[in-house]
Structure 1
Amino acid sequence: MRNIIFILILTLMSLVQLSCKTNDKNSILVIAVDELTITDVNCSQDEQAKSGFKILCDESVRFTHAFTPSVLSSPALASLLTGLYPHQHKVRHNGGPGLGAEFELVSELALKQDYRTSFFSGGAPIFRRSGLNQGFELFEDNVLPNFKSLFRPFKKNTEEFIQWLNSDVDGDAFLSILYVPDLLFTTTETVTDLGETRNLSFESQRDELDESLADLFTQLKQMNRWDSTTIILAGLNGHTSSPRYKELSPINLHGENTQIALFIKPSQAKKRDQAIHWKVDQNVSLVDVGRTLFELLGETIVDTPGSSFPVHSLSGVLKTPNANWSEDRPLLLESGWPLWRRAGPLRSAAIASHVLYINDEKPLLYNTLVDRFEVNPLPLLQESVLPTTEKLQSLLQKNQLPPSANLEAEWLGKFSLSFSRWMRPDQEAALLKDLKNLSRNFPRSLDLLNWTAQIALNQKDWDTLRSLGNKHRIYTWSYVGEKNQGAKPSKGFDPCFNLLTIPALEAEQLKSCNDPLFLEYVDWLRSEDRGLNKEVQRKKFERSFRNYMLDQQIQKANIAAVMIWDTARENVLAPSRTELALHLPEYTKLRNQVYKSLQSDEN
Structure 2
Amino acid sequence: MRGKSFFSRRMWIVACALLVLVGAGGLRWYWKSPRPNIILVTFDTTRADHLGAYGYEQGLTTAFDDFAKRGVLFEQAYAPAPITLPSHTTMLTGLYPPEHGLRVNGAGALASEIPLLPEILQEHGYQTGAFIAAAPVLGAQFGLNRGFDNYDDAPAKMLSRTRSYGVARRDGEEVVDLALEWLGLRTAEPFFCWIHLYDAHGPYDPFTEVYQDRFANKPYDAGVAWEVQQFDRVNEFLKENGLESNTLVVVAGDHGEGLDDHGEYEHGMLVYNTTVHVPFAFAGPQFVKPGTRVREVVSLVDIMPTLLDVLEIPAPERMSGRSLLPALKGESIESQDCYAESEMPYYMNRWCPPRTVISEQWKYIQSTRPELYNLEEDPEELNNLFDTVGEEANRLQALLTNMLESFQRTQAGEVDLSEQDVANLRSLGYVAGGTSSEEDAVVTTDQSLIDVKDMVPFVSKFEEAKHIVAEGHQEEAMVLLQEIADATEDYPEADLRLGDLLADAGRHEEAVTVYRSVLARRPDFVSAYFKLGGVLATQGKFEEVEANFREFIKANPDDPAGHLELANVLGRLGKYEEAISEFREALRLAPDSVAANVYLGHLLARLQRPKEAVGYLEKAIEVDPRNVAAHENLMMVLAQTGQPAKGIQIGLRAITLNPKSFETRFNLGLMLVQNQQYADGIHQLREAQKIRPDDPRPTQQIRQIEAALRKGSR
Do both proteins adopt the same fold according to a TM-score greater than 0.5, normalized to the shorter chain?
A: yes
Deviation at 1:447, TM superposition (A): 5.7
Across the aligned residues of Structure 1 and Structure 2, the Cα RMSD in angstroms comes to 4.4
Contact in 1 for aligned 2:272/2:381 (Cα 8 Å) = yes
Contact in 2 for aligned 1:76/1:236 (Cα 8 Å) = yes
Contact in 2 for aligned 1:303/1:310 (Cα 8 Å) = no
Contact in 1 for aligned 2:74/2:281 (Cα 8 Å) = yes
Query: In the alignment, which of 237, 251, 258 is matched to residue 219 of structure 1?
Result: 237
Query: In 2 relative to 1, CA 192–230 (structure 1 residues): closer, same or farther, beyond 3 Å?
Result: farther
- 1:184 is paired with a residue of what secondary structure? coil
| Alignment partner, residue 154 of structure 1 | 172
Contact in 1 for aligned 2:305/2:315 (Cα 8 Å) = yes
Matched, 1:173 2:173: no
Aligned equivalents of 1:310 and 1:451: distance in 2?
37
State the one-letter code of the partner of 1:312: R
| Alignment partner, residue 423 of structure 1 | 467
Deviation at 1:302, TM superposition (A): 8.7
Query: In the alignment, which of 273, 276, 283 is matched to residue 265 of structure 1?
Result: 283
For residues 341-352 of structure 1, the aligned pairs below 5 Å read 341=348, 343-344=350-351, 346-352=353-359
Aligned equivalents of 1:102 and 1:495: distance in 2?
40
Aligned equivalents of 1:420 and 1:472: distance in 2?
20
Aligned equivalents of 1:472 and 1:389: distance in 2?
42
Query: In the alignment, which of 64, 67, 77 is matched to residue 53 of structure 1?
Result: 64
Deviation at 1:389, TM superposition (A): 2.9
| Alignment partner, residue 98 of structure 1 | 109
Query: In 2 relative to 1, CA 152–258 (structure 1 residues): closer, same or farther, beyond 3 Å?
Result: same
Matched, 1:131 2:143: yes
Structure 1, 106-115 or 20-29: larger mean CA deviation? 20-29
| Alignment partner, residue 323 of structure 1 | 332
Deviation at 1:208, TM superposition (A): 1.1
State the one-letter code of the partner of 2:484: L
Task: Please list the CA deviations of residues 141-198 of structure 1 after superposition, one character each: whole Å capped at 9, or x if unmatched.
Answer: 112589766201221111101111123x133311111122221133446355588896
For residues 111-510 of structure 1, the aligned pairs below 5 Å read 111-123=122-134, 124-144=136-156, 150-167=168-185, 169-188=186-205, 190=207, 199=216, 201-244=219-262, 249-268=267-286, 276-301=290-315, 311-320=321-330, 322-325=331-334, 327=335, 329-341=336-348, 343-344=350-351, 346-380=353-387, 382=389, 385=392, 388-389=395-396, 391-396=398-403, 398-399=405-406, 402-405=443-446, 406-407=449-450, 415-417=459-461, 419=463, 422-424=466-468, 425=471, 431-442=477-488, 448=494, 451-452=497-498
Deviation at 1:439, TM superposition (A): 3.0
- 1:158 is paired with a residue of what secondary structure? helix
| Alignment partner, residue 623 of structure 2 | none
Deviation at 1:260, TM superposition (A): 0.8
Query: In 2 relative to 1, CA 35–418 (structure 1 residues): closer, same or farther, beyond 3 Å?
Result: farther
Deviation at 1:136, TM superposition (A): 0.8
Aligned equivalents of 2:515 and 2:372: distance in 1?
48
Contact in 2 for aligned 1:35/1:238 (Cα 8 Å) = yes
- 2:460 is paired with a residue of what secondary structure? coil
Aligned equivalents of 2:116 and 2:276: distance in 1?
23
- 2:372 is paired with a residue of what secondary structure? strand
Task: Please list the CA deviations of residues 101-157 of structure 1 after superposition, one character each: whole Å capped at 9, or x if unmatched.
Answer: 111112112111211111111112101121111111111111258976620122111
Aligned length: 453
Aligned equivalents of 1:142 and 1:189: distance in 2?
25
- 2:111 is paired with a residue of what secondary structure? coil
State the one-letter code of the partner of 2:219: S
Query: In 2 relative to 1, CA 214–431 (structure 1 residues): closer, same or farther, beyond 3 Å?
Result: same
Query: In 2 relative to 1, CA 332–197 (structure 1 residues): closer, same or farther, beyond 3 Å?
Result: closer
- 2:373 is paired with a residue of what secondary structure? strand
Aligned equivalents of 2:182 and 2:108: distance in 1?
29
Aligned equivalents of 1:101 and 1:471: distance in 2?
42
| Alignment partner, residue 504 of structure 1 | none
Query: In 2 relative to 1, CA 404–237 (structure 1 residues): closer, same or farther, beyond 3 Å?
Result: farther
Query: In 2 relative to 1, CA 67–451 (structure 1 residues): closer, same or farther, beyond 3 Å?
Result: closer
Matched, 1:27 2:68: no
Contact in 1 for aligned 2:215/2:221 (Cα 8 Å) = no
- 2:355 is paired with a residue of what secondary structure? strand
State the one-letter code of the partner of 1:417: K
| Alignment partner, residue 587 of structure 1 | none
Query: In 2 relative to 1, CA 38–194 (structure 1 residues): closer, same or farther, beyond 3 Å?
Result: closer
Aligned equivalents of 2:237 and 2:313: distance in 1?
30
- Unpaired runs of at least 5, structure 2: 1-25, 408-437, 517-535, 541-571, 574-714
Aligned equivalents of 1:353 and 1:497: distance in 2?
58
Query: In 2 relative to 1, CA 455–312 (structure 1 residues): closer, same or farther, beyond 3 Å?
Result: closer
Query: In 2 relative to 1, CA 246–353 (structure 1 residues): closer, same or farther, beyond 3 Å?
Result: same
Deviation at 1:291, TM superposition (A): 1.1
Aligned equivalents of 1:383 and 1:50: distance in 2?
41
Query: In 2 relative to 1, CA 445–74 (structure 1 residues): closer, same or farther, beyond 3 Å?
Result: closer
Aligned equivalents of 1:302 and 1:495: distance in 2?
49
Contact in 2 for aligned 1:69/1:79 (Cα 8 Å) = yes
Query: In 2 relative to 1, CA 96–21 (structure 1 residues): closer, same or farther, beyond 3 Å?
Result: farther
Task: Please list the CA deviations of residues 289-308 of structure 1 after superposition, one character each: whole Å capped at 9, or x if unmatched.
Answer: 2210111221244988xxxx
Contact in 2 for aligned 1:23/1:173 (Cα 8 Å) = no
Matched, 1:84 2:84: no
Deviation at 1:449, TM superposition (A): 5.5
Task: Please list the CA deviations of residues 275-300 of structure 1 after superposition, one character each: whole Å capped at 9, or x if unmatched.
Answer: 71221000000111221011122124
State the one-letter code of the partner of 2:332: A
Query: In 2 relative to 1, CA 165–332 (structure 1 residues): closer, same or farther, beyond 3 Å?
Result: same
Query: In 2 relative to 1, CA 317–221 (structure 1 residues): closer, same or farther, beyond 3 Å?
Result: same
| Alignment partner, residue 527 of structure 1 | none
State the one-letter code of the partner of 1:281: R
Whose radius of gyration is greater, 1 or 2? 2
State the one-letter code of the partner of 2:46: L
Deviation at 1:455, TM superposition (A): 6.5
For residues 436-585 of structure 1, the aligned pairs below 5 Å read 436-442=482-488, 448=494, 451-452=497-498
| Alignment partner, residue 77 of structure 2 | 66
TM-score by length of 1: 0.64
| Alignment partner, residue 677 of structure 2 | none
Contact in 1 for aligned 2:90/2:96 (Cα 8 Å) = yes
Aligned equivalents of 1:232 and 1:242: distance in 2?
29
Task: Please list the CA deviations of residues 457-490 of structure 1 after superposition, one character each: whole Å capped at 9, or x if unmatched.
Answer: 99x9x9xx7996898799xxxxxxxxxxxxxxxx
